[in-house]
Structure 1
Amino acid sequence: MNIQLKTKRALVTASTGGIGFAVAKGLAEAGAAVVVNGRSEGSVNAAVARLLAEVPGASVIGVAADLSTAPGVASLLAGISDIDILVNNAGIYEPLDFFEAGDDVWDNYWHTNVMSGVRLSRALLPAMVDRGWGRVVFVASESARNIPADMIHYGVSKTAQLALARGLAKRVAGSGVTVNSVLPGPTLSDGVADMMKGEVERTGKSLESVVAEFVMQHRPSSIIQRAASVEEVANMIVYVCSTQASATTGASLRVDGGVVDDIV
Structure 2
Amino acid sequence: MDAGMKDLESLAVLDPSRGREPTDAEWTRSRAFIERTMATSEGRPARHRAARWLVVGAATVATGAAAAVIVPAVLPGTAQKAMAAWTAVPTARTGDQVLPQARECADNEVGGRSATVRPDDVVLAEQRGIATLLIMRKSGKIVECLSAGGHNLASMGLIDDGPLPAPPPGQVSLETMSSMGNRGHEWSNIIGLVGPGVTGVEVRLDNGRVVQASVKAGWWAAWWPGPEGGDFDHLTVIVHTATTTTSRRPSELP
Query: TM-score, normalising length from structure 1?
Result: 0.27
Structure showing the higher strand proportion among its residues: 2
Structure showing the higher helix proportion among its residues: 1
Query: TM-score, normalising length from structure 2?
Result: 0.28
